[in-house]
Chain A
Amino acid sequence: MNNRLDVLYRIGGYICGFALLFAIWHIAAVYFVRSILFPPPGRVILKAIELLQDGTLQEQVAVSLRRIMTGFAGGAAIGIPLGLAIGSFRPVRYLLEPFTEFFRFIPATAMITVAVIWFGIGEGSKIFLIIYTTVFIVTLNTAAGVGAISPNKIRAARSMGASTRQLFLYVALPATAPHILTGMRLAMGNSFVTIVAAELIAANAGLGKMIWDARLYMLVDQIFVALLTLGLLGFTADRLFRWGIYAFAGRFSPTA
């Protein structure tokens, strides 16, 4: 089938794309820059293997991922119902719009200092920041999704006898799902930015902390391992979401 061919093409494209990236990196490092401050991919991968063998890399990744996942889940759990309420009920929208529209312009990175003062240097401040960065995007996208439901979908359900609860569960929610997932996907990207920034500035563990520590001792290879790991994690998370949007919203979703 055409579909399978498409998947093959895509995977092939990804492999070639990554190979090209590593090739350019290698050539740039070995033939042009030739500095200890810009290690070629081979050395970074060797370093990564070393860090994997002694377990430090997994440890730092686990710390950062746990923070992202907890905060992200919390943020989505708040943002989705909030967005549904804002999108469905006009008074709620007028009441809450000032909040979303106000905090939207205060980036999470600007909140790091406040978060550390309030919640300390440990998990509390990180999870707060991830929740913060997730909530508003998810809320806004969910609300916009509710607003985009065509009135005839709701009218049709009504004249087929749907109650208000059924209307919400079987029409509003699935119709909004692609928008919710898109919001979550954007929020996931933000979460990566925020966690690294937060861990760079104030943390006792995590990938950001790993970069910061490596900088102190000029362990350039280790910095690059952290960067590479971030890229790979982000890429994987994003693919998973794209796939989720596609699987859930299927052939009809304009965002998939």
Chain B
Amino acid sequence: MPLIELSDVGKTYRSMRGASYQALKDFNLQIEPGEFLCLLGTSGCGKTTVLNMVAGFEKHTEGRITVHDRPLSGPAADRGVVFQGDDSLYPWLSALGNIEFGLRMAGIPRKERHERAHYYLELVGLKGQGHKHPAELSGGMKQRIQIARVLANEPEILLMDEPFGALDAQTRSVMQKELLSIWAATRKTVLFITHDIDEAVTLATRIGVMHAGPASKLKATIDVDLTTEQRDRTNDGYVTVYRQVHALLRDEVAIAMKRASS
């Protein structure tokens, strides 16, 4: 049984001036427990919209979204979200305070909270930096704090919206490796949004490619059966998957460009 299920989901945005925009239509996706699903698509196709609906931030206007076969009712602690920017961190709290936030809300005693926060701080490679405030941390460090904060809360599902989009190539590659080892250790279910094919092939167990908007839906999904060693740009298996995804995406980019210019 799928953990997350989107059936014939549609989303129409209505602006205050009465104009409406149908971002998604008949969107179908099922995510199994333990899957690492990367969602790819052209800019503006509706990836964030999908994630925001699964997170419970936005209400879908058609169809059905269920988690554990139950319809969603807003955000909850079972679905942790890593945001694209760093504006979701709390600048008045230290790194450790940020990581502890969810545990504090759940009323977990201070001592246990500290232990768990320290554990995840170390897991994301920031041991000894817990006393620093977000303003004193680099972009990559802040992104790690976000990840540690979500992990410390031990959600069943991780929702990540281009979490490494703003990082430089080296940091990004380090973070990808860290995320993979964390995922291997915890076997969370991950919905990961990116527009970088390499990132998707490096991380995913399955890749979903979306059509260009408006009224976007899933175009195809590709299973990625690669071992950790095979996830390397020089590997044949890697290249094959890359080509498949690239071919699916190429047409959509062309369509999106044409729609934008007409």
CA distance in complex: A170, B133 (Å): 16
Is there contact, CB below 8 Å, between A152 and B88?
yes
Contact with A along B89-131 (1 / 0, CB 8 A): 1111000000001101110000000000000000000000000
CA distance A65 to B99 in the complex (A): 43
Query: In the bound complex, do residue B101 and residue A251 qualify as a contact, i.e. CB atoms below 8 Å apart?
Result: no
Q: Judge whether A160 is part of the interface by a CB distance below 8 angstroms.
A: yes
Q: Which interface residue of A152, A156, A249, A250 has the most chain B CB atoms within 10 A?
A: A156
Whole-angstrom distance from the CB of B192 to the nearest CB of chain A?
A: 16
Counting chain A CB atoms within 10 Å of each CB, which of B76, B85, B88 scores highest? B88
Given A159-B75, A251-B135, A152 contacting B149 (CB threshold 8 A): no
Instruction: List residues of B whose CB falls within 8 A of some A CB.
Output: 55-57, 74-77, 79-81, 83, 85, 87-92, 101-102, 104-106, 133-136, 149-150, 153, 155
Residue of B nearest to A249 (CB): B92
A55-63, A161-169, A221-229: which lies at the B interface? Answer: A161-169
CA of A177 to CA of B135 in the docked complex: distance in angstroms? 17
Does the CB pair B81–A155 fall under 8 Å? yes
Tell me if A207 is interfacial: C-beta within 8 Å of chain B: no
Cross-chain contact B87 with A159 (CB below 8 angstroms): no
Contact B80 A177 (CB under 8 A): no
Q: Which residues of A lie under 8 Å from residue B106 when comparing CB positions?
A: 161
A171, B91: Cα distance in complex, Å: 10
* Partner of B105 from A153, A166, A248, A252 at Cβ < 8 Å: A166
Contact residues of A: prevailing secondary structure: helix
Instruction: Check if B81 sits within 8 Å of A156, measured CB to CB.
Output: yes
CA of A252 to CA of B136 in the docked complex: distance in angstroms?
9
A2 within 8 A of B: no
Contacts A155-B55, A250-B133; is A161 near B153 (CB within 8 Å)?
yes
User: Is B88 a contact partner of A158 (Cβ separation < 8 A)?
Assistant: no
Q: Complex formed: what's the CA distance from A137 to B155 in Å?
A: 42
Of the listed residues B57, B75, B76, B149, the one surrounded by the most CB atoms of chain A closer than 10 A to its CB is B75
Given known contacts A155-B57, A162-B105, A170-B105, A252 and B91 CB-to-CB distance under 8 angstroms? yes
Specify which chain B residues have a CB less than 8 angstroms from the CB of A252 in the assembled complex: 91-92, 133-135
What's the least CB distance linking A125 to chain B, in Å?
39
List chain B residues, Cβ under 8 A from A248: 92
Known: A155-B55, A156-B81, A251-B136. A161 touches B105 (CB 8 A): yes
Which chain B residue shows the least CB distance to A150?
B87
A–B pairs, 15, beta carbons within 8 Å: A155-B75, A155-B83, A158-B56, A159-B56, A159-B80, A160-B101, A160-B105, A161-B77, A163-B105, A166-B105, A174-B92, A249-B92, A250-B91, A251-B136, A252-B133
CB B258 to nearest CB in A, in angstroms, measures: 33
B residues less than 8 Å from A177 (CB atoms): 92
CB distance from B77 to the nearest CB of A (A): 3
Q: How far is the CA of A155 from the CA of B101 in the complex (A)?
A: 13
Is A158 touching B105 in the complex (CB atoms < 8 A)?
Answer: no
Residue of A with least CB distance to B92: A174
- Within 8 Å CB of B85, what residues of A? 152
Select one of B105, B134, B135 contacting A157, CB under 8 A: B105
B4 CB to closest chain A CB, in angstroms?
Answer: 14
Q: Which 7 A-B pairs have the closest CB atoms?
A: A161-B77, A160-B102, A252-B91, A152-B88, A158-B75, A156-B88, A159-B75
B90 adjacent to A160 (CB under 8 Å):
no
Residues in A neighbouring B55, C-beta threshold 8 A: 155, 159
- In the bound complex, do residue A155 and residue B102 qualify as a contact, i.e. CB atoms below 8 Å apart? no
